[in-house]
Amino acid sequence: MKTDAFIGLGSNLKEPAAQLARAVAELAALPKTTLVAQSPFYTSSPVGPQDQPDFVNGAAWISTELGPHALLDQLQAIEQAHGRERLQHWGPRTLDLDLLIFGNHKLDDERLTVPHRELHNRDFALQPLLDLKPDLTLPGGAEIAILRAQCPDNRLRKLPPPDYP
């Protein structure tokens, strides 16, 4: 049985937009998974330490037969392949892949909280989700559009589409 999952994408090191584009391609290649859509990319101020470059963010919508923890393992493997180092909480990173929503599931264990516990505070995650599915709701019925309207501003700016030859 397939589940719709929404993955938040972020990077602020080593050509961030290119990091995200490669990550989307890698998500599309995951076993038992289909890429449904990807959002436009945005720039935003960093959350946490401000002495780092702005982030490029986006989201991907996938349909997967993987369970939430198996999907998390795959996301972390992609991060590692991109050279992700966890040196500082909310610090700079080559790639951050967050499992934001996994169907109608609610999970909270030592490895994974879904929906993502900070989603309501992150315009750089909410806006790409709205771009993908404007009527998206969280398990329990909270509307992403309403959360976005109430979200603090993080200087979100939409990037133009990449100029491919």
Residues 6 or more apart whose CB falls under 8 angstroms from that of 163 comprise none
**Burial of 90 from C-beta contacts in 10 A (0-12 / 13-18 / 19+):** exposed
- Partner residues linked to 107 by β-bridges: 114
Q: How far is CA 72 from CA 7, 18, 85, 98, 112, in A?
A: 10, 22, 16, 8, 8
Rounded CA separation 86/43 (Å): 21
Q: Find, among 137, 105, 108, 117, the residue nearest to 1 by Cα.
A: 105
Q: Would you name the residues annotated as active-site residues? A: 84, 93, 96, 98
Helix boundaries (H) for the chain? 16-28, 68-81, 123-132, 144-150
